[in-house]
Structure 1
Amino acid sequence: MTLRLAGTALLLLAAATASAADKVEKSKILMMGNQAGWSETTYSDDGTVRNHYEYNDRGRGPKLDSVYKVGADGIPTSVEIRGNDYMKGKVDETYARSGDEATWKNSAESEKRTVAGPTFYLSLDGPPEEYTLLMRALLKAPNQTLKLLPDGEARIEKLATIKAKGKAGTKNATLYALHGLSLTPSYAWLDDKQRFFAGYSSWSSTVREGYEDALPAIGKRQEAEEQRLAQARAKSLTTKLDKPLAIVNARVFDPVAATVVDGATVVVDKGRILAVGKNAAVPAGAETLDAQNQFLMPGLWDMHVHFSSEADGVLDIASGVTSVRDLANNPEKLAARIKAIEDGTDIGPRIVKAGIIDGPGPFAGPTKALAATEAEAQKIVDEYAATGYEQIKIYSSIKPELMPAIARMAHAKGLRVSGHVPAFMTARQFVENGADEIQHINMLMLNFLFDKVQDTRSPARFVAIGEYGASIDLSSREVRDFVDLLKRKDIVIDPTVCTFEDMFLGRPGLPGPGYDAIIDRLPVTWQRGVRSGAGGLPIKPGQEALYRKGYQKMIDFVGLLYRSGVRIVPGTDGMAGVTLPRELELYVAAGIAPKDVLRLATYESAKVVKRDDRLGRVEPGYVADLILIDGDPTLNIGDVRKVRTVIRGDRRYDSAALYKAVQIKPWP
């Protein structure tokens, strides 16, 4: 969660310094075209920059007041940031440099360090304004490169200039790429005076007030640059399989039979599996890949993603995730990404589309698909059905009385129905009124806390689990009856347990264990974010143990569901690819055997979306989505991280090369 929010902050680059004649600049923060917040920056002749920054994202979101003292080289000599972070935790951060001595303190760090030469301090909890200050400093720096505190190095690159038109007039806007802070370049637009103009993404954008109409042109040009980089990656990292490939000396796993066959050969051609077995016939002229006794299994599924970051596709394939289900996105942008992946001009998994629908209001999700009436809902469902969507995801602000109608509309179009349980509705009511699936294990637990919290549109849906979840008796008649209902109606559960781990266990300076296995492989700026524990909920003193027990109860509930015969599909709702192994580890912690977890992450996921006749097994006639692992995840589920080679139909990838392309160290 912390990493995903850090990436969002980089995309929401806002307000920059101005001349003495222009003391104040205001920007709007838009999510899917709707205003979610604002930023205002005040500039003083003495180099002081003051910024107010806030936005609301379904009850979450930062509210920060920051003061920067900026030197002639554009580098801040002191920083003060106060307010609250995205999860409403307290922010009180300071930095100062005098000569070669730099000191800083925040919720997770208190350090003093001797530094030499120009060095830019990146705050832990600061506003996006800080990244604009960094860009201005980089433009002044030799080779447009600067060292960062606490670690790392940043570089800026000028890419393109366009005429941006808005109600406030016309300005030159220049696109810059900021390197060194994320997996792929971060982009921002500055005007001729190197002041902030816009930060764009398909989910959320920040733009100078009066220039909202310029965002389409800005987005088009920026996406062209992103596509250029994606095409270059795809060309250099994809090996097209133009003739049969025989993978020999492999340990082949069948997730349905839960068996492993040693010394087997798998032959693929034209994206399909031709033969499997110890005596499989190899066509003349076939290329041979010696697996050297590595573990060969079907590609993994992540059944809960929001495919948006430019690194997502590369991370998924590098991690062995060859299929995903997208559960809410910008429809136009998602369609373009799917086309590019299937055309081979981008790298990524197969994507199943599920469309979100929410109700209007202050806690509405970041989507334009908002419905307050049956007529509005019908129009949205029809549009999704007509554009290749297979599922409707109902979100938290839908009125309870509208939910049954949406289910009927979706089912009439042949679409599955899933989602968050709408506010003021229980999970039992959600199921009884037509849902086929529920996202997030906390939504099931809230069924037994309806006397504690009913409005689940806000972070109350998390806090209630921390404060009361441990008290839920999983052996009670109420729980057993509910689980029996889920089994009887064949309801699928998408638990996303890993997405709650840092939220419930992370504390300032004490991160949750979710990233332990991969933290050293991440860019240094991301390592700092993880180690800070900044993604945790604000917990009242003395409640830490209670929250840990509440989180453990979620894991225990997953185990109960599985043992009771309720269908489970693994999804992450987090950082692409690299977080799925942690979700699978948590299922093992819930008491599910590793072989069964692998079945859930392959064949059973394919079955839920009606692709089990062609995906999820290593069998003749199946699509050749295969991964080679240097280990045995049937014994140690964590070995799914050790993917070495990925076959995605008629394309072959080296996992290590993919990771390197997005600044992540390969698995040793």
Structure 2
Amino acid sequence: MKLQLCAAVLIFCAGGIAGAAEQVERSEVLTMGNQAGFQEARYADDGSLRVHFEFNDRGRGPRLDSEYRIAADGSVDAIANKGNDYFKGAVDESFRRDGAKASWKNSAEDESRELARPAFYLSLNGTPEEYVLLARALIKAGAQGLDILPAGTARAEKLGELKVKGKPGAKKVSLYALHGLDLTPSFLWLDEQQRFFASYSSWQSVVREGYAEALPALGKMQDTQEKQLAEQRAKALTTPLTGPLLIRNVRAFDPASGETTAAAAVLIDKGRIVAAGKEAALSVPAGTETLDGGGRFLMPGLWDMHAHFFGQADGVLDIAGGVTTVRDLANNPPVLAERIKAIEANKDIGPRIIKAGIIDGPGPFAGPTKALADNEADAQRFVDEYAASGHEQIKIYSSIKPELMPAIARMAHAKGLRVSGHVPAYMTARQFVENGADEIQHINMLMLNFLFDKVQDTRSPARFTSIGEYGASIDLGSPQVLEFVAFLKQRGTVVDPTVSTFEDMFLGRPKLPGPGFAAIMDRLPLSWQRGIKSGAGGLPIKPGQEAAYRDGYQRMIDFVGLLYRSGVRIVSGTDGSGGLQLARELELYVAAGIPPKDVLRIATYDSAGVAKRDKEYGRIAPGYVADLILVDGDPTLNMADIRKVRTVIRGDRRFDSAKLFESIGIKPAP
């Protein structure tokens, strides 16, 4: 749902275009500096615009042809989009404006509306070029902005200019912030003619052909703007704890013991817990600040053990949702290091971040990383670099040669690093563990162990669709499954299931979204609500396969329950927006049959243990770091209450959850 200017498409099928003169603009899509796709925009003198856009992301990615009819005043009269979306679902979208009447149709919407004032239709699946058209309209509209169809409002703000050089020559480009489309401003670079020049991020960028060398300069200026916004937000929303604080009148839950102490209090100072227990038994120094918990539930901060921390709103989302520690499992190392530095210096808001470095193999399905190893020498270099830069774990990805995997494990272990990841293609989960893996990411990777006769190349989306097609046939009570689970227990293998990240993927389809965000739908910005309601995040399920995919997904949940009952260690991870999504992950563990108290232990003390931090994190006990959350209700009885975080203490700083959510356009939990 996060706005990515390179993730959608628009098309208007009109006759007579071929004969008009055209201005052709071609841009390239770069993922972590690697060529991943392109956009070609053709502006004709008759007011038509044709755009082709595509990129490849491990076998996923859109391929779109869009045509627009642009009116004399620059507004868009008609759009038609055809092709496929990120998950290869069919795209057939149209928009038309006739006077004051606007009509549009796509896989999830079929609407008409009489317009009382100017508005801009934003496609459900649109190309980067569409945001150029939007930006021009917003610039023309001025400070009051424009209504966005079907919902919301937006405005553009010019932030600065920059002179850049490329093979075609020098250009002066301008940076614009588009407000109202996402949780934080969306950035877009335009040239002197207000043509598309670039959309930049440290992960994936789209840039005018011949100007890739300008991206570092664009990134530096854009990062400066983003850092200023982050620093302003941190200053306004962080309360530093400069002296002792007594949190009193709470029900204190200690995950290690599973016990809840009523009428409790916790005394913290200098970021750590000094004392905890019955309030009447505590000795409190004179002058101590007091926070009355109002009888609420106090517990350690949550851990998201599968994060990718690169969105500008990620830190605010995590802290607002009670997530005080995350493990980042693949990122741009220097960019992540800067974010960590800013957070720890209180110039940004965010959780504690544990770094894991990804290594993949080269090829058409390579992951978004520069760490691509085809031999042991390359692998050793990447392991050494990650170890030297404070990474604690190596995540092996799907395109690594099976014969190279054990060497990477040996290298990592020699450096004191854990080893985890996707099971590489042409390898079983059992072989992955036998050859040195300490942990497996994603529950589908374990299920594929029993589908090796049907799918071996798991670099592509086949690692998802095969679960939908065949997953329900896996008998969790069979000797083969039980023996494998016992093997995982005996080896001490950790599993990071991320069941929530598959929920809408397997259960959502056009006009019928999955249930993953149902509990918080009305709290989200209108643009996010639209994306969720569309069901656009679902896999392209063939007619008649809906039940199979639903049953395959249920088998994932059941497998998590089997792992827990068998003593296999589980950690809580989302591979998504942790501050919003982790609660759903924990609810699904309860649905798998894990008692709520044990789920809370998994999401705190147990995860800290896997990260070798359980002597300092994950408990309410003297000497432990004061990462604490104050919650309405009782998640040991109703896991849904974990969404009702009111106050977050992250060591030596305090946050109001409601104010954090409001700062990024999300309504606080009721």
Query: Within 5 A, what are the aligned runs for 1:57-206?
Result: 57-143=57-143, 145-206=145-206
The 8 Å contact of residues 95 and 103 in structure 2, kept in 1 or not, is answered as yes
In the TM superposition, 1:197-346 aligns within 5 A as 197-278=197-278, 279-346=281-348
Cα distance in 2, alignment partners of residues 314 and 21 from structure 1:
48
Amino acid at match of 1:225: Q
Distance in 1, matches of 2:190 and 2:126, equals 20
Return the alpha-carbon distance in structure 1 between the equivalents of residues 144 and 115 of structure 2: 19
Whole-angstrom distance in 2 between the partners of 1:527 and 1:309: 19
Task: Note the C-alpha offset of 1:11.
Answer: 8.1
Say yes or no: does 1:578 pair with 2:573: no
Q: Distance in 1 between matches of 2:10 and 2:329?
A: 28
How many Å apart are 1:74 and its aligned residue? Answer: 2.1
In structure 1, what is the Cα distance between the partners aligned to 2:384 and 2:283? 48
CA distance in 2, matches of 1:611, 1:363: 35
1:486 equivalent in structure 2: 488
SS of aligned partner of 1:364: coil
Q: Name the SS for the 1:577 alignment partner.
A: helix
State the shift of 1:125 in Å: 1.2
Contact 1:12–1:204, Cα closer than 8 Å, also in 2: no
Correspondences of 1:493-504 after superposition (within 5 Å): 493-504=495-506
Aligned residue for 1:73, secondary structure, equals coil
2:174 counterpart letter in structure 1: T
Cα shift at 1:10:
6.3
- CA distance in 1: counterparts of 2:266 and 2:573, whole angstroms: 28
Corresponding residue of 1:564: 566
Distance in 1, Cα, partners of 2:140 & 2:76: 13
Post-superposition shift, 1:607? 0.1
Matched, 1:7 2:6: no
**Offset of 1:265 from its aligned partner?**
0.8
1:117 deviation in Å?
A: 2.0
1:435 is displaced (CA, Å) by: 0.3
1 CA distance for matches of 2:503 and 2:573?
A: 14
Contact in 1 for aligned 2:101/2:113 (Cα 8 Å): yes
Q: Secondary structure at the match of 1:578?
A: helix
Q: Is the Cα–Cα contact under 8 Å of residues 9 and 53 in structure 2 kept in the other structure?
A: no
Task: List, as ranges, runs of 4+ consecutive aligned residues in structure 1 with deviation greater than 3 Å.
Answer: 9-15
Contact 1:312 1:348 in 2 (8 A): yes
The residue number in structure 2 matching 1:34 is 34
Mapped partners of 2:111, 2:22: distance in 1: 36
Q: How does 1:472-621 map to 2 (within 5 A)?
A: 472-621=474-623
Distance 1:331 1:624 in 2: 28
- Residues 26 and 208 of structure 2 are in contact (CA less than 8 Å); yes or no, is this contact kept in structure 1? yes
In 2: Cα distance, 1:625 partner to 1:207 partner = 41
CA RMSD of aligned residues (A): 1.3
- Which AA in structure 1 matches 2:336? L
Q: 1:441: which partner in 2? A: 443
Aligned residues of 1:80 and 1:95 also touching (Cα < 8 A): yes
3-state SS of the aligned residue for 1:562?
A: helix
Taking a change above 3 Å as real, the CA distance of residues 144 and 49 of structure 1, as seen in their structure-2 partners, is farther
Deviations 1:354-386 (A, max 9, x none): 000000000000000000000000000000001
| Residue 102 (structure 1) shift | 1.2
Instruction: Please give the alpha-carbon distance, in whole angstroms, between the structure 1 residues aligned to 2:8 and 2:370.
Output: 19
Counterpart residue number, 2:14: none
2:15 maps to what in 1? none
* 1:72 Cα offset (Å): 2.7
TM-score (normalizing by structure 2): 0.97
The C-alpha deviation readout for 1:506-559, integer Å capped at 9, x for no partner, is: 010000000001110110011000000001111111000000000000000000
Change (3 A) 1:356 1:184: same
Deviating more after overlay: 275-284 vs 308-317: 275-284
Residue of structure 2 aligned with 1:643, choices 641, 645, 650: 645
Tell me the distance in 1 between the aligned counterparts of 2:300 and 2:294.
18
SS of alignment partner, residue 481 of structure 1:
helix
In structure 1, C-alpha distance between the alignment counterparts of 2:148 and 2:291, rounded to whole Å: 43
Q: Which residue of the partner structure matches residue 377 of structure 1?
A: 379
SS at match of 1:226: helix
CA shift digits 1:95-121 (9 cap, x unpaired): 111012111110011111111221100
Q: Report the AA paired with residue 487 of structure 1.
A: K
On the 8 A contact 2:470/2:552 being kept in 1, the answer is yes
CA distance in 2 between counterparts of 1:565 and 1:22 reads: 65
The equivalences for 1:342-353 within 5 A come to: 342-353=344-355
The match for 1:460 among 459, 462, 469 is 462
CA distance in 1, matches of 2:173, 2:144: 19
Cα 1:7–1:143 change in 2 (3 A) is closer
1 CA distance for matches of 2:644 and 2:566? Answer: 31
- Is residue 39–residue 53 contact of structure 2 (8 Å, CA) maintained in 1? yes
Identity rate of aligned residues, in percent? 70
Question: In structure 1, the residue corresponding to 2:577 is in which secondary structure?
Answer: coil
Instruction: Label 1:21 to 1:111 Cα distance change in 2 as closer, same or farther (>3 A).
Output: closer
Deviation at 1:416, TM superposition (A): 0.3
Distance in 2 of aligned mates of 1:640 and 1:478: 37
| Mapped partners of 1:618, 1:326: distance in 2 | 25
The number of equivalent residue pairs is 660
Label 1:649 to 1:11 Cα distance change in 2 as closer, same or farther (>3 A): farther
Task: Identify the range of structure 1 (274-283 vs 484-493) with the bigger mean alpha-carbon deviation.
Answer: 274-283
TM-score after normalising by structure 1: 0.98
Counterpart amino acid of residue 636 in structure 2: T
Please list the CA deviations of residues 582-605 of structure 1 after superposition, one character each: whole Å capped at 9, or x if unmatched. Answer: 000000000000000000000000
Question: Would the aligned equivalents of 2:6 and 2:206 in 1 still touch at CA under 8 Å?
Answer: no
